[in-house]
Amino acid sequence: MAGLGRSSRGASGKRGAASSSSSSVSSSSAAASACVYYATTAVLVTLCVAGAYFLTSASSASLAGSVVDGDGGGGGGGGGTVTTTYRHTTRSSFAYEVSRPERKAPPAPPRDVERVDDAAAARGRIADEEGAEEEHGDGDDDPRGKPDLDDHGADEEETKSAVAAMDDAQRREEDGSVSSSEANAEEEEAAATTGARRVRVGEDEEEAAREESQELHLQMPLGESRPRAAAAVEEKSLDGGVEEESNAGQRQREEEQIDHGVDGGASLRREAQEEGQIGEGYVMADHGEGEEMLLEQQQQQPEEERGGDAEAARTSESDAGGEVDPEDKPTVSERTEEMVDTLPGEEDRAEVSATGVDEQNAWATQADHSHQEKDRRDEAAGVDDNIADATAGGGGGGEEPEWRLCNVKAGPDYIPCLDNDKAIKKLRPENYRRYEHRERHCPDEGPTCLVPLPAGYRRPIEWPKSRDRVWYSNVPHTKLVEVKGHQNWVKVSGQYLTFPGGGTQFIHGALHYIDFLQQSARGIAWGKRTRVVLDVGCGVASFGGYLFDRDVVAMSFAPKDEHEAQVQMALERGIPAISAVMGSKRLPFPSKVFDLVHCARCRVPWHADGGALLLELNRVLRPGGFFVWSATPVYQKLTEDVQIWKAMTALTKSMCWELVAIKKDRLNGIGAAFYRKPTSNECYETRRRQQPPMCSDDDDADVAWYIRLNACMHRVPVAPSDRGAAWPAEWPRRLRAPPHWLNASRAGVYGKPAPEDFAVDYDHWRRVVDRSYLNGLGIDWSRVRNVMDMRATYGGFAAAMRDHKIWVMNVVNVDAADTLPIIFERGLIGMYHDWCESFSTYPRTYDLLHADRLFSKIKERCAVLPVVVEVDRIVRPGGSIVVRDDSGAVGEVERLLRSLHWDVRLTFSKNGEALLYAEKSDWRPELLADPL
């Protein structure tokens, strides 16, 4: 109503001015009437110009956020064009950039009648604005409302402007610049007012159309195509336009704003980026033929476009402070063609979850059968608590955690599940006798503090030099030097720890010892028949380190005990190893998977507790596989050794192990006994005493996660279709061929017949690795040795990396399909693990982590925040992580990694799938957490 009143007053003022001017013509001279007319007109013009100025300045901010081609009028879609490019930077490799043609300012209007038209149009906009203000209430909160001036100040400004306008009007009259009549002035003024209102209505409709376009986009599936202008509007609103990647604070604020306002947060920002490229001709790889289609489209792409992409990448790299060799950096299309490659049928597949076994014998999981035997938390309550922690503790919200250093006695060597002093203090004396104090005792909630770096930490030495020496400052422990130095385990040499390659049983080097073992039992056949080895009580793992020369991979383990950091030294050298102990629970491996088990003075009491520990080796040893025992009871005649030998002889006979040979190595002065596990059940059935007893039928040999040892034996599979009934194909053929026991009548993890599922997975990862990981991520593979696949399925990623100088720890999650036996059957290594807990390794022991659809699965069970902290713990400074997941999960991980000062080098998304590559920095916080 206020707006309408002002409009009425304005209209009546015009009529009054016209009538007074008419009467003055008849009663006064022409000069006097002109003065009155120009004075009145000047006041009105001044008011309109002032209103238009404030209105224009207030609305320019909102208009700047929209991408509108052309001059914004009602013209047809013409105007400028929107081009999209990716920038490959050290901060965010595919930062999206929206560039527009430079808009020329419209020509300045003449200073005569057109100025009056603009003033009338401005008056119309002011009237409409005031009407909207009255309709919606007080307009103080509206950024397009009244200027922030009080009435008194506005009146003074209007008075001064009126005086100046009158002087200007008189000068123009004297110059003869205005000669229109009163009637023409009124008609022009009315026409300008009507036109201004039409323009205002058109702008309102255009703005509403833009808002409706944005809302429609958010509801539209990501795979659908959209008009380029609408996509550009969304890209502007989601990504904030062109920005400097180094401005981390501004970027964080924008991402948090998106997180609160749009479902999916930063993921939608990346998805908007991808849609722009799809509009430029990028095609999605589809069911095996997509790669060829993609390559054809790239070949048909104009040379200038490919050159522009490469130039953009080079420019952004130079902006980041580094020089770029054009030959070293592939083009954008080459880098991204397989980033989010999907398996055939993956869009509608349903992975088997921990819901039990159906009538088709679907894949079981460790979580289906394993009984949690830790006193850590009630399972049902734990899920609710973890979900709450994910929201309140930084796992899913937009609040950045306050990082602190862990305050623990273990310091830089902290392993949360092995250094839980509170849980260890609750153990009884009999628990210590079974080495339960060396087993896993995870805290109720995953730690969210960060492990400090040791003083003087340096980036690790590259393989193969690292097998012989590492930086002393990285593993500053000397106890093994003092105790085992004479056995050539490890020595101190200046700033290095050196490893001569010796061990307690092979002080003259591991290679000679390895050859001695094969010559003693030719059925071993290193690198052909024997590919996967378990090394018990590995020390610094020189045995496993030199088995690589024989094309053998060894899973080495030793406890975290008074022999300081033996597993940490092994991993620092680039040799596979985990911290574990043979105590009261099963090892985290399925049954019948290791081709050979080795123990060289491993100090394990095999004959104790009814032979429970040796029976655990029997569980994991493949039928027909060797157990090599290189220990003093084999060749020494001391009283204790003789007693142990008799006990071991009786135990191995009752287990039906065949003593193949006892050989002595004259160079090292040691002997070794070679046992072979039976391939049939005949011996078990003919024993006079059923000790150890056979396990009950409901005792699943493959269940291993937190399952207590049982001093019994499982029967050997004999049916041709059973796993373990036949030896795998020789290496490397076993890597590529589906296991013989993978039945086609059984559905695989992805829903296809199991052998076909296996083949599809293998081809998929070969494409991804060859076309993207090796060249497209910017990874310096010469510095990568220790790799972990955090959620392996068939081991396809590790198989694709076979020809490179790395090893891969394949982790099969306890709540995922139990495919770990397939991984071992292929000649690869791995273990079970629950990522809601800490991994059994030292800090800073992996160069690269690979997480394929891990975090979206973790969110269903526990908080993401502690998992990201665990990633930060086990990755070396300078190491990296590759995350492939849905866009929401990747966005959440990206936010946490950035807060940890990781260098996010690449983010990319397509159709709801996203990929992230980030590198860990040397940053550590200064604050100290409360004692754990």
Q: Is the pLDDT of residue 78 over 50?
A: no
Arithmetic mean of pLDDT, 883-891? 97
More confident residue, 506 or 399: 506
Question: Three-state SS for 491?
Answer: strand
Q: pLDDT at residue 185 above 60?
A: no
Residue 232, number of CB atoms within 10 A of its CB? 25
pLDDT at position 164 is: 54
- 382 vs 926, more confident: 926
Residue 300: pLDDT over 80: no
Q: State the pLDDT at residue 341.
A: 53
What tens digit of pLDDT does each residue of 630-667 get?
999 999 999 999 999 999 999 999 999 999 999 999 99
pLDDT of residue 112: 45
Q: 83-92, 394-403, 604-613, 764-773: which range is least confident on average?
A: 83-92
Cα 377 → chain centroid: 28
- State residue 498's pLDDT score: 97
Using an 8 Å Cβ cutoff, are 6 and 134 in contact? no
Q: What percent of the chain has pLDDT over 90?
A: 55
Instruction: Locate all alpha helices (DSSP H) within 434-509, ordered by sequence.
Output: 479-484
- Which residues have CB under 8 Å from 693's CB, separation 6+? 711, 712, 713
More confident residue, 194 or 860: 860
Amino acid at 75: G
**Is it the case that residue 692 has pLDDT exceeding 90?**
yes
pLDDT(932) > 80: yes
Total length of the chain: 932
Residue 330 has pLDDT above 70, yes or no: no
Model pLDDT, residue 224: 38
Q: Please check the confidence at residue 375 and state whether its pLDDT lies above 60.
A: no
User: What does the alpha-carbon distance between residue 333 and residue 331 come to, in Å, rounded to a whole number?
Assistant: 6
Q: Of 21-25, 239-243, 322-326, 507-511, where does mean pLDDT reach its minimum?
A: 239-243
* Residue 616 pLDDT exceeds 90: yes
CB 540, CB 504: distance < 8 Å? no
Q: What is the pLDDT of residue 608?
A: 92
Question: Region 388-394: what's the mean pLDDT?
Answer: 39
Percent pLDDT > 70 in the chain is 59
289 pLDDT higher than 70: no
Strand pairing category for 846-852 and 903-910 = unpaired
pLDDT higher than threshold 90 for residue 395:
no
DSSP string, 466-485: GGTEEETTTS---HHHHHHG
CA gap 486, 223 in Å, rounded: 66
DSSP-assigned letter for residue 771: I
- Is 352's pLDDT higher than 60? no
Task: Determine which of 163-172, 224-233, 298-307, 575-584 has the lowest per-residue pLDDT on average.
Answer: 224-233
The reported pLDDT for the residue numbered 642 is 96
pLDDT in tens, 403-427: 999 999 999 999 999 999 999 999 9
- For residue 232, pLDDT over 90 is answered with no
Peptide bond into 464 cis (omega under 30): yes
Q: What is the CATH number of domain 504-573+593-686?
A: 3.40.50.150
- What's the mean pLDDT when you consider all of the chain? 74
Contact 550, 528 (CB under 8 A): no
**Rounded to the nearest 5°, which phi and psi values hold at 705?**
-85, 110
**Average pLDDT rounded to a whole number, residues 873-899:** 97
Inter-axis angle of helices 30-64 and 151-175, to 10 degrees? 120
Instruction: Indicate the pTM of the whole model.
Output: 0.66
Per-residue pLDDT for 741 more than 90? yes
Q: What pLDDT does residue 385 have? A: 44
- CA nearest to 447, candidates 843, 909, 18, 918: 843
Residue-wise pLDDT tens digits, 570-607: 999 999 999 999 999 999 999 999 999 999 999 899 99
Q: Comparing C-alpha atoms, which of 440, 663, 496, 466 is closest to residue 574?
A: 466
Per DSSP (E only), the strands in 500-646 are 532-536, 553-558, 577-579, 594-600, 621-630
For residue 493, the tally of other CB atoms under 10 A from its CB is 10
pLDDT of res. 132: 45
Domain with CATH 3.40.50.150 in the chain: 504-573+593-686, 733-920
- Taking only the tens place, the pLDDT of each residue in 713-725 is 999 999 999 999 9
- Return d(Cα 41, Cα 64) in angstroms, integer: 33
Whether the predicted pLDDT of 10 surpasses 90: no
The band of 344, judged by pLDDT with boundaries at 50, 70 and 90, is very low
Compare 410 and 184 and report the one with higher pLDDT. 410
Average pLDDT over residues 606-626: 97
**143 to 57, 203, 280, 364: CA distances (angstroms):** 10, 16, 36, 60
Measured distance CA(761)–CA(757) in Å, rounded: 6
* 644 half-sphere exposure, CB direction, 13 A CA radius: 18
Candidate from 45-59, 352-366, 678-692, 827-841 with smallest mean pLDDT: 352-366
Which has more pLDDT, 926 or 335? 926
Average pLDDT over residues 93-97: 36
pLDDT greater at residue 528 or residue 299: 528
Using the predicted structure, report yes or no on whether residue 319 has a pLDDT greater than 50: no
Mean pLDDT of 253-274: 42
Locate 899 and state its tokens. Answer: 């807060």
- CATH entry 3.30.70.2700 includes domain 733-920: no
Judge whether residue 401 has pLDDT over 70. Answer: yes
Tell whether the model's pLDDT for residue 28 goes beyond 90. Answer: no
Decide which of 815 and 98 is more confident: 815
Instruction: DSSP for 336-364, please give it.
Output: HTTTT---TTGGG-----SS---TT-PPP
The residue ranking higher by pLDDT, 738 or 107, is 738
Q: 455-510, pLDDT tens digit by residue?
A: 999 999 999 999 999 999 999 999 999 999 899 999 999 999 999 999 999 999 99
Handedness of CA 251, 254, 256, 262 (dihedral sign): negative
Judged by DSSP in three states, 464 sits in coil
What is the spatial distance between Cα 455 and Cα 476, in angstroms, rounded to a whole number? 9
